Amino acid sequence: MSRADEILEPMWRTIDSIVDEEALRRRLDAGERLRIKYGVDLTAPDLHLGHAVNLWLMRHLQDQGHTVVFLLGDLTTQVGDPTGKNETRPVLSPDAIEANAQAFLDQVSIVLDTDPAVFEVRRNSEWFGRMPISELLGLFSMTTHAQLMARDMFRERIAAGREIALHELAYPVLQGYDSFAMRSDVTIVGSDQLFNEMMGRQYQQRLGMRPQSIITTVITPGLDGGPKQSMSLGNYVALTDTPADKFGKIMSLSDDLAGVWASAYTSLDDRELARIREDVKAGGEVARDAKLTIAGAVVERYHGTAAAAREREAFLNVFSGRADPKDIRDVTISDRALTALDLLEAVRPDLSRSARRRLLAQNAVRVDGRLLGDPNEQVTVTDGSIIRSGRRAWARVTVRAGR
C-alpha cells in the first residue's frame, strides 16, 4: 500500500471523484505538505452535516500534516456565487461580513484543527482589493462566454427565462483565480462547485502554476428525501444544533435514507453499516434501533459518549410513550455539582421535601438514565442533561453560568 493509498483509504467512503488523482497521489507519495483550499462566501453560516463531510476529509488530511487554507471570500461575498434559486444576494455591510467570518471560524473549528501549523486563514480581498481593473480584464480575456455557458446552472437559468447579471458570470473567474493566488494544491468540494474549481485549474495553468487536484464528495439527501440538505429548505442537521436536536432530527429520517446517512455522517465501520442496511429493511423496532445507532454515532462524534447515551435515553422514553415531548420541561440551574436532593428540589419545586425523598427511595429518579438513590449523593449535570423524576415527569437542564 503506497503512502497515498493509506491516506486516501478512509476517505473513499465520502469521495465522489478526484480530478487529477494522478497528481494528488504523486504528491502524497512524495510526502509534500499540501495546501487545501477551503473557500467560503461570508453569508451567515449554518454548517450542516453535509458540509461536515468535506470538513472531516480536510481534518483527516490535517492529521497527516497538510494545511487547510480557510479562504474567507470577503470580496466575492459582495458578488455571490449565482445559484438557481436567488437572482440577487443582499449586500452585506462590512460589520456583517466580519460577524459572519467569526461565526464561520467558530463553526469550522468544531471539526477542523485550528493549530496554526495546519490552519491558515486568508481573505480574497488581499489580492482582489489591490488588483487593477486592467488585470481583472486580463483574467476575463482567458475565459469565453461559451465556456461559462457550459455551467449547468447558467444554462438552466437561461432555459427558464431567468436573468443572469453580468457580475454573476464573473464569479467563476474570481473563484478560479483564488486557487492561483492562495497556491491551492487540492480542494474538497461538493460537485456543484466542480465547474468553478475547474476554472481554478485553468487559471493556475495559464499563470504558470501546477493546477490543483479537486476532490468532489457525495451529496447526501435532505432529511425529507430532497436532493440535498439545504439551509433554505430547513431539512438539515446543523453542526450547532443541540445534541437533542441532532438526535431527534436523525430519528425523523426516513428508513430508506438511513444507510446513506450512516455512511456519510458517522464513522461506523463497514460491518456496522451493513447491519444498519439490513435492519432498516426489517422495519418496526429493528429499524428504529438502527436509527438509534446512527443518531447516537452522530451525537457522539460531535458531543461525546455521554451526550449520545443521554439523548438515546431521552428519545427512548419519549418514543416508548413513557414521556411525551411536551412533558419534558426546561429547568435552569446555576450549579453543575449538587446533591441529588438539591437537584430534585430544582426540578420538582411542586413537591414537598418529603415527597422528593420518597421518589428517591422508590428508585424513580434518573439523571441521563443513571439511577439516583442516596439523597446526599453528589451529582454532576451538564447542559441538556435529562432528569426523570417519577413516571411521566421529565426535565431538561440548562446550566446558567454561576457567579
Q: Each residue of 37-69: b (16+ CB within 10 Å) or e?
A: bbbbbbbebebbbbbbbbbbbbbebbeeebbbb
64: contact with a copy of itself by CB under 8 A: no
**What's the rounded Cα separation, in Å, for the pair 200 and 214?**
10
By CB under 8 A, name the one of 1, 30, 159, 166 that touches a copy of itself.
Answer: 166
Name which of 345, 330, 324 is nearest 391 in CA terms: 324
2: contact with a copy of itself by CB under 8 A: no
Least CB distance to a copy of itself at residue 157 (A): 9
Grid cell at residue 289: 434501533
93: contact with a copy of itself by CB under 8 A: no
**What's the rounded Cα separation, in Å, for the pair 261 and 297?**
11
End-to-end CA distance of the chain: 56
Name which of 39, 119, 31, 117 is nearest 73 in CA terms: 39
The answer to whether 319 and 248 have CB atoms below 8 angstroms apart is no
**What's the rounded Cα separation, in Å, for the pair 191 and 391?**
50
79: contact with a copy of itself by CB under 8 A: yes
By CB under 8 A, name the one of 55, 69, 101, 148 that touches a copy of itself.
Answer: 148
196: contact with a copy of itself by CB under 8 A: no
Least CB distance to a copy of itself at residue 142 (A): 8
Q: Which residues lie closer than 8 Å to 401 by C-beta, 6 or more apart?
A: none
251: contact with a copy of itself by CB under 8 A: no
83: contact with a copy of itself by CB under 8 A: no
101: contact with a copy of itself by CB under 8 A: no
Nearer to a copy of itself, 173 or 276 (CB): 173
The answer to whether 330 and 365 have CB atoms below 8 angstroms apart is no
Least CB distance to a copy of itself at residue 144 (A): 4
145: contact with a copy of itself by CB under 8 A: yes
Least CB distance to a copy of itself at residue 38 (A): 22
**In the window 123-142, what residues touch a copy of itself (CB under 8 A)?**
128-129, 131-134, 136-138, 140-142
Element (H, E) at 36: strand 35-41
Least CB distance to a copy of itself at residue 367 (A): 54
**What's the rounded Cα separation, in Å, for the pair 325 and 328?**
6
Give the range of 24-32, 75-83, 290-298, 334-342 binding a copy of itself by CB under 8 A.
75-83
By CB under 8 A, name the one of 153, 164, 233, 346 that touches a copy of itself.
Answer: 164
Element (H, E) at 125: helix 125-128
The answer to whether 278 and 286 have CB atoms below 8 angstroms apart is no
Alpha carbon 199 to its chain centroid, in Å, reads 26
Per-residue mark of binding to a copy of itself, 170-189 (x: CB under 8 A): x--x----------------
Nearer to a copy of itself, 174 or 365 (CB): 174
Give the range of 169-177, 223-231, 272-280, 343-351 binding a copy of itself by CB under 8 A.
169-177
Instruction: Provide the binding-site residues for a copy of itself, judged by CB under 8 A.
Output: 75, 78-79, 88, 128-129, 131-134, 136-138, 140-146, 148, 154, 158, 163-170, 173
